[in-house]
Structure 1
Amino acid sequence: MSLDRTGTQMNSFDAGSRDASHEIVRLIERDWDGKHILVVGDVMLDKYIQGTVERISPEAPVPVVQASQRTQRPGGAANVAMNIVGLGARASVIGFIGDDEDGASLTDLLEVGGVDARLLAVPQTPTTSKLRILSGSQQIVRLDIETKTLRPEKAYKNLIEEVRKLLHKADGVILSDYAKGTLNPEVCQTIIGDANDAGLPILVDPKGRDFLRYRGATTICPNLKELGLALANSEGSVDSLLDEGQALVSKLDLDYLTVTLGEHGIAVLHSHAPRFHVPAIARQVFDVSGAGDTVIATLALSVSSGFSINDAAHLANVAAGVVVGKLGSVPIARHELVAALIEFSGTEIHEKTLNLARLLVRAAEWRAAGHSIVFTNGCFDILHVGHITLLEHCRRLGDKLVVGINSDTSVSALKGPDRPIVGERQRARILAALAATDAVVVFEAATPIDLILALRPEVLVKGGDYTEDTIVGAPEVRSWGGRVVIVPTVEGHSTTSIVRKLAVKDDA
């Protein structure tokens, strides 16, 4: 364990290990629902017109884009807030908009996205927006509408007042600076001072050369180019920039400096300790826009949850690998981070065995991604070809397969005192190792009806000589529009027959 500047005990894991990743996934799914991050900074509206180019304009040597789709998304600090909500936590965002249509659209998008939007309209200034025109995935041109001038003094006072209203509800603060005039030095220092007094971690995504305005923050998170500008060393090598950046930690009274290195990963710099480097995860890159927003959101949630900065950097690195595979500034979702972390660390078997609370979180994440859930249940005592056939059939009926297994106590009550042959933990682990299964959950009752009612699967499957009238949960599944499927048993294959054969051999 380690201590942060407030004396809070910090979790410490080697995020690359199987056991550590299992614990981190558990904390993400269990704890992040209760976290609340306050984002302050330059909000903007990202607008997209997508179409195709088939000819050059006769008026000028430029392509003519035949528009087919228009979309709008929260950008800048607003996208940071959307990432936090996507990761399962609560977010409030404070910033300036104009008294215009774009400001109203941005507010509506944030509210629909589940963000608490505290956007302050400033007369005679436009809402910052970026209009991108694309042909396929290729950007043709971008039109920016913005002002970088300072707002009236009253506007900044109102912003600080709004921040102070929410600080006591927050678990962490992000300053998202896109150099559009929201985060002037006075605002930055006031918020940083208030956050430190409240014992909250405060993370900064910076712009420009003046890092002094961020003095006293927990960390500043520049990319390599931004660090070079702040150091007036834009031509330096990566190592020389990181060496110089290490001196900024003490100079700016930071806990550490977190530097994103693009294809080289993330570096964490401490004042009196060796740098910590997280190498990038190899991914197909479609668009790096918005990756910094995802990194700062993931770092803030991780640090506010008590993760060490090294583990927070691991998670942020995995999250960045997800969003660069998307087109445009699209926020990450918690189920995507969990899936990527499981894939990266090889913890899939561990992460398939869940209690009911974590299964319901996982199910919500699957459904948010558009997946249907299949459920089956049984004792699965001594796994045999009949079981495998059932599970493979189940897998073809939907996107995700959840297997409920009777606990040892439940099996004994159903099958007799000599059963089960294999304990519930071993049975669960064997089932989790199968490619067909996505989750395994143990239930104590004689029937899985409570589990079915909580999970609400789209498909309920049972093997054997059942009819729909005799399958537990069938009426309930049909009541919410689900299907009930019966898979015939494989003749000659059952746990009972295996036990009898073994008994005959023992007697011989």
Structure 2
Amino acid sequence: MADGADITELLDRLKTAKVLCVGDLMLDRFSEGKVERISPEAPIPVISVTRESNHLGGAGNVARNLSALGVGCRMVAATGDDGSATEVAGLFSELPGVVPELERLRDRPTTVKVRYMAGGQQLLRADKEATGPLPQDHEDNVISAATDAMADCGAVILSDYGKGVLTSRVIAAVIEAAHMAKLPVIVDPKGQNFHKYRGATLLTPNRNELALASGMPVGDDKQILAACHHIMNECGVQGLLATRSEQGMTLIHHGAQGDTEKHLSAQALEVFDVAGAGDTVIATFAAALAAGIPMVEAARLANIAAGIVVAKVGTAVAYPDEIIAAVHGEAWRESEHKVHSLETAEDRVEAWRRKGLKVGFTNGCFDLLHPGHISLVDQARAACDRLIVGLNSDDSVRRLKGETRPIQNEVSRATVLASLANVDMVVIFAEDTPMKLITTLKPDVLVKGADYTIETVVGAQEVQSWGGQVVLANLVDGQSTTGTIAKMNGK
């Protein structure tokens, strides 16, 4: 996996894979706002909520990671029979390639974790959940659904968050069925008792979980290997992929094709948040195995993906273009890292917002960059902390400007824009207007030239509806792409 061609080939192979995920599903809700006073009722801050968002958590975040990689996923889990379960179903409908089979329980709430955020800091987390084991009839339904789903899957993930779906009976039945189907079983374990995972292909504990389950020190490579061997011998599992934060990962596996022991160095340049990194590791690793990728290469791919998500804030995912960029490393110019798909842009904007940064947006064709464009970008950046530029695709420009345009293709135009210091991100869009970008990214500031009125700016009403601001930038006299092209043609 030394070069970009290798990584691109591996990522293409992932798209042929399908993975079964069974486990504890959660709804992660973020309520973000401002704290400007202390409550008169008690010495606690009062948060004025300005934005709320919901995300799939727990095993749902594993499904998110699989979908982000282009991997098919069969998701077997349980929810309550409540409004949160309806929200969960809606979020699954937005994940390409994910087919959920959710067992609904009338007497059990959907697990919901609400995080209250202000100024980039988490003030409070409120959990609503029931963690007892599933009743036997619901266990039967989960086992049946999981067994049926194995027919078209290449690997099985057990995502154990200790919320009661993965009872010892469910775990044993799913592992046995996977063995019959000749599928590897990868487990994200929970608690001190790893014996319940007997027969699994691989466990993916973090360092603290490994220490707790083994009762052994895990400070260095030698100790990690000793603890892994202890777990393998005592609990009857074939191997472990132990995640070790800043020290990377250790893969150890005893299989029919020989023994593997490999230490992988950490890939992250910066660590902002390790939440959800384990979900990314197990999703990427299992997907690679399902695609027929050797175990060591699968672990390396998972290690790269983990390095990407810990550099983000909150439960996040790694996209193929981010993995390719990470492998290219210094060979890619910084400007090329600024060009994002809408999916990766959404992740980046969420991270900016949780740091308390004001996000701005402007858009255009930017065919031949001229002083008018530079002035617009500078004025837009002055109104925010981070600036996104929406760039019309080549087909979009042709529809708007005629068959002779654009002069430069979208890759060239994006590269030039990304080289500007005041541009923090470029997102290419294929539609005639940037409405989809605006409603997805929800900028705090929307900037257009003063040849528009606020009423005619696309997205103005939407931005104002969530408390954002619309700014009309001053124009530079005599500067336009059309005029520049006319001068070039002697007109």
How many residues align? The count is 372
Identify the match of residue 279 of structure 1 among 259, 265, 276: 265
Identify the match of residue 42 of structure 2 among 60, 63, 71: 60
Q: What is the identity, as a one-letter code, of the residue corresponding to 2:300? A: H
Shift of residue 277 of structure 1? 1.0
Under a length normalisation based on structure 2, what TM-score does the superposition of the two structures give? 0.68
The 3 A distance-change label for structure 1 pair 189 and 24 is: same
The 3 A distance-change label for structure 1 pair 65 and 458 is: same
Q: Does 1:105 align with 2:87?
A: yes
Alignment partners' CA distance in 2, 1:100 and 1:193 = 33
Show the counterpart of 2:359. Answer: none
Show the counterpart of 2:279. Answer: 293
Shift of residue 296 of structure 1? 0.7
Q: What is the identity, as a one-letter code, of the residue corresponding to 1:113? A: L
Show the counterpart of 1:468. Answer: 404
Shift of residue 481 of structure 1? 4.7
Structure 1 window deviating more from structure 2 (120-129 vs 244-253): it is 244-253
CA contact (8 A) 1:397 1:459 kept: no
**Which runs of structure 2 are paired with 1:90-489 in the superposition (5 Å)?**
90-114=72-96, 115-233=98-216, 236-238=218-220, 239-271=222-254, 275-343=261-329, 346=331, 366=341, 368-369=343-344, 457-459=395-397, 468=404, 481=432
Shift of residue 489 of structure 1? 13
Alignment partners' CA distance in 2, 1:335 and 1:370 = 12
Show the counterpart of 1:6. Answer: none
SS of 2:93's equivalent? Answer: helix
Under a length normalisation based on structure 1, what TM-score does the superposition of the two structures give? 0.66
Identify the match of residue 53 of structure 2 among 71, 74, 78: 71
Shift of residue 242 of structure 1? 3.2
Shift of residue 469 of structure 1? 9.7
The 3 A distance-change label for structure 1 pair 278 and 459 is: farther
CA RMSD, aligned part only? 3.6
Shift of residue 470 of structure 1? 13
The Cα offsets for residues 342-396 of structure 1, whole Å up to 9 and x where unpaired, read as: 227x4x69xx9xxxxxxxxxxx98465469xxxxxxxxxxxxxxxxxxxx96999
The Cα offsets for residues 160-208 of structure 1, whole Å up to 9 and x where unpaired, read as: 1111221101121110000111111111111111112212121110101
The 3 A distance-change label for structure 1 pair 396 and 202 is: farther
Shift of residue 231 of structure 1? 0.9
Q: What is the identity, as a one-letter code, of the residue corresponding to 2:276? A: G
CA contact (8 A) 1:246 1:270 kept: no
Alignment partners' CA distance in 1, 2:287 and 2:162 = 24
CA contact (8 A) 2:211 2:227 kept: no
Identify the match of residue 86 of structure 1 among 61, 68, 74: 68
The Cα offsets for residues 400-440 of structure 1, whole Å up to 9 and x where unpaired, read as: xxxxxxxxxxxxxxxxxxxxxxxxxxxxxxxxxxxxxxxxx
The 3 A distance-change label for structure 1 pair 248 and 480 is: closer
Show the counterpart of 1:402. Answer: none
The 3 A distance-change label for structure 1 pair 130 and 318 is: same
The Cα offsets for residues 284-333 of structure 1, whole Å up to 9 and x where unpaired, read as: 22221111111111111112122222222221111112112222112222
Shift of residue 111 of structure 1? 1.3
Shift of residue 256 of structure 1? 2.1
CA contact (8 A) 1:47 1:131 kept: yes
Q: What is the identity, as a one-letter code, of the residue corresponding to 2:206? A: N
Shift of residue 31 of structure 1? 2.3
CA contact (8 A) 1:334 1:365 kept: no
The 3 A distance-change label for structure 1 pair 263 and 457 is: farther
SS of 1:468's equivalent? Answer: coil
**Which runs of structure 2 are paired with 1:41-56 in the superposition (5 Å)?**
41-56=23-38
The 3 A distance-change label for structure 1 pair 266 and 394 is: farther
Show the counterpart of 2:420. Answer: none
The Cα offsets for residues 68-91 of structure 1, whole Å up to 9 and x where unpaired, read as: 111110000011001100111111
Show the counterpart of 2:444. Answer: none
CA contact (8 A) 1:203 1:219 kept: yes
CA contact (8 A) 1:223 1:259 kept: yes
Alignment partners' CA distance in 1, 2:186 and 2:151 = 17
SS of 1:92's equivalent? Answer: strand
Alignment partners' CA distance in 2, 1:395 and 1:231 = 64
Give the structure with higher Rg (CA).
Answer: 1
Shift of residue 215 of structure 1? 1.4
Alignment partners' CA distance in 1, 2:246 and 2:122 = 22
Show the counterpart of 1:32. Answer: 14
Alignment partners' CA distance in 1, 2:485 and 2:328 = 31
CA contact (8 A) 2:35 2:45 kept: yes
The 3 A distance-change label for structure 1 pair 61 and 337 is: same
SS of 1:97's equivalent? Answer: strand
Show the counterpart of 1:4. Answer: none
Alignment partners' CA distance in 2, 1:86 and 1:286 = 20
The 3 A distance-change label for structure 1 pair 48 and 368 is: closer
Alignment partners' CA distance in 2, 1:396 and 1:296 = 49
